[in-house]
Amino acid sequence: MDDLSQLFHRAAEVAAAHRASLPDRPVGAAVTADQLVAELGEPLRTAPMPATQVLEELTRGFARGLVATPGPRFFGFVIGGALPAASAADLVAVAWDQCAFNAVLSPAAAAAERIAAGWLLDVLGLPPGSSVGFVTGAQGANTAALAAARHHVLAQVGWDVERDGLVGAPRVRLVASTERHATIDRSLRLLGFGTAAVEQVQATANGAIDVADLERVLGRQAPGPTIVCLQSGNVNTGACDDLTAGCAVARRHGAWVHVDGAFGLWAAASPTTAHLTAGVEQADSWSCDAHKWLNVPYDCGFAICSRPQVHAAALSYSAAYLTGQGGPTPALGDLVMESSRRARGFAVWAALRELGRDGVADLVDRCCTLARRCADGLEAGGAEVVNDVVLNQVLIGFGDDARTDRVVEAVQREGTCWLGGTTWRGRRLMRVSVSNWSTTAQDIDQSVAAILRVAGQVA
C-alpha cells in the first residue's frame, strides 16, 4: 500500500472503532475544552510532521473531549445521528473533495444534489420542482429562504432590494409566533430587517401558533409586503403549527409564508405523523435539516423554495471568470449563500437510498414511540411530564427550577445518557429529544432508570 492508502485506512479504522464504542462509552466528554487546550495547546511547530503522525496525535489527543452525540443515548438539543451509509458517503466525499458550486466544477456533486432534492421534495410532500439549496443547516436555510421572501414581496411592489437595499424601501411586515426558533431572529438581523420588526403572534399552550391571533395581527394593517414565519417542530415541545389554517390566513393577506421545519418537517414522511404537517405544500419556502432527523452527519440542511427563479434572484451572483451559472435552471451556487462549499448531496443521497421511503417513515415513527415511552417511564417514576408529547420532544420537571437543574447536571455527570435543560413557560425543565436511528427501547429504559436513580439522589 502506498502512504496515502495506509493513511486513509488508518483514518477509517479510527472512524469504525469510534462508532463501535458509542453504545458502551459514557455519553459525555471526559475532559473540558479548557483542559484539552492546556494539554495540547502549544505554539505552531516550525518543522513539518508526517501525516500518519499527525493523525495519531489528533485522534489520541482529542478523543477524550468527544461527546457521543451520534450514539443511541444522546438526547440533548435536537441532534439526530449519523446513518451508516451517510457517514461512509461523507468519508468518500471528503476524499473526492468536490467543490459544489456548479456542474462544471463537479457534474457528480450537481447530479447528486439534483437527485437527492427530488427525493427530498417527494418524501416531505413539497411541490415538485421546488428549488433546494444545500446549506449548512436550518440557520442557513432560514436566512436563504427569507432572502428569497424579501426579494419577492419587495419585487411585487416594484422595489429591487438586491440593487437598492433596504434604505428607503417600502416597509416589509414580518409576522412570527412568540415561539419561533431563535435562528429566525438572527436571519432577520442579517437580512437588515432587525429583530424589532417582528410582529409577535401568540402561541397555544403547547407552543404552536395561535391562528386566530395570526389573523388578528395580520388584520391590523392593509395588505402590503408581508412575510409570515410558521414552524413545524417547536424545539422545546415538538408542537407543529397548523399549516393549513396558517397558510390560508396568510394567503388572504397576500403574505409570503416561510415554514421553519428544521426537524418537524420530517413528520410528513410517516402516515402516523403526517397530519402534523398537513398543508405544508401551501407555503412558499421551507427550511429543513438533514443533520437532525434524517441522520446525515453534520453539517447539512436545505433551503427550499416553491419559486426557483425567486430563490436564485435573491442569492445568485456572477463574475467574469465564472462558467456554469445562468440559464433557466439555477446552478447549485445560486441557491445558497456560499460560493465554494463541500458536496453535501452525496450523504443526503446515501441516507435516502439507505432508508428508502419506508425507512424514513420508520425512523420518524420509532423516535416518536420512544419519546412517548420515555415520557411514560419518567412519569411512572414520579417525574412530571410538562408538554403534550406530539412528536419526539419531552419536557420534564423534577420539582422546583433549582432541583430540576441539579438533576440535569447530575444526569450529565452520571454518563448513561446526556440531555439538557431548557426554560419553558418560565420554568426550568429537562428536555429530551429522541432523533437517532440507533436508539432502541432498551436505550430508553436504561436511560429512564438512570435518570430516576440519579434524581432520587438529588435533594
Query: Which residues in this chain contact ligand PLP in the complex, by CB under 6 A?
Result: 78, 137-139, 181, 183, 231, 233, 235, 260, 262-263, 289, 301
- The one-letter code for the residue type at 201 is V
477524550: which residue's cell? 64
Distance (Å) of CA 440 to CA 290, 365, 368, 435, 436: 21, 12, 12, 11, 9
Q: How far is the CB of 299 from ligand PLP (least distance, A)?
A: 7
Instruction: Compute the residue count for the chain.
Output: 459
Q: Which is nearer to ligand PLP, 151 or 181 (CB)?
A: 181
CA distances from 3 to 17, 97, 98, 280 (A): 21, 18, 22, 51
DSSP per residue, 368-385: HHHHHHHHHHHHHTT-EE
Angle made by CA atoms 174, 178, 181, in degrees to the nearest 5: 85
Which CB sits closer to ligand PLP, 142 or 439? 142
In angstroms, the Cα distances linking 333 to 77, 90, 287, 288, 330 are: 30, 20, 17, 18, 8
CB of 225 to ligand PLP, least distance (A): 24
Residue 153 identity:
V
CB of 177 to ligand PLP, least distance (A): 11
148 or 407: whose CB is closer to ligand PLP? 148
- Note if the bond before 299 is cis, omega within 30 degrees: yes
Query: Exposed, middle or buried, 7 (CB in 10 Å: 0-12/13-18/19+)?
Result: middle
How far apart, in whole angstroms, are the C-alpha atoms of residue 307 and residue 298? 27
Looking at the Cβ atoms of 259 and 378, the one nearer to ligand PLP is 259
- Report residue 39 as a C-alpha cell: 494539554
Shortest distance, position 392 Cβ to ligand PLP, whole Å: 11
| 73/81 Cα distance (integer angstroms) | 10
Q: Which C-beta is closer to ligand PLP: that of 71 or that of 233?
A: 233
Write down the least CB distance from residue 233 to ligand PLP, Å.
Answer: 5
Nearer to ligand PLP, 78 or 407 (CB): 78
Give me the sheet containing 131-135, strands edge to edge.
131-135, 301-305, 285-289, 256-260, 226-231, 173-177, 198-201
Q: Which residue is nearest to ligand PLP (CB)?
A: 137
Q: CA-CA distance, 197 to 303, in Å (whole number)?
A: 23
Query: Which residues, at least 6 apart from 411, have a Cβ–Cβ distance to it below 8 Å?
Result: 417, 418, 419, 430, 450, 451, 454, 455
Identity of the residue, 390 or 454, whose beta carbon is nearer to ligand PLP in the bound complex: 390
- CA-angle at 239, arms to 233 and 243, nearest 5°: 75
Nearer to ligand PLP, 87 or 136 (CB): 136
Pairing of strands 173-177, 198-201: parallel
Q: How far is the CB of 108 from ligand PLP (least distance, A)?
A: 25
Nearer to ligand PLP (CB atom), residue 93 or residue 391? 391
Residue 138 or 385: the one with the smaller Cβ distance to ligand PLP is 138
For residues 335 and 330, what is the distance between their CA atoms, to the nearest angstrom?
Answer: 7
| Min separation Cβ 241 and ligand PLP, Å | 11
The residue among 242 and 260 lying less far from ligand PLP, judged by its C-beta, is: 260
Q: Do the Cβ atoms of 209 and 218 come closer than 8 Å?
A: no
DSSP 295: -
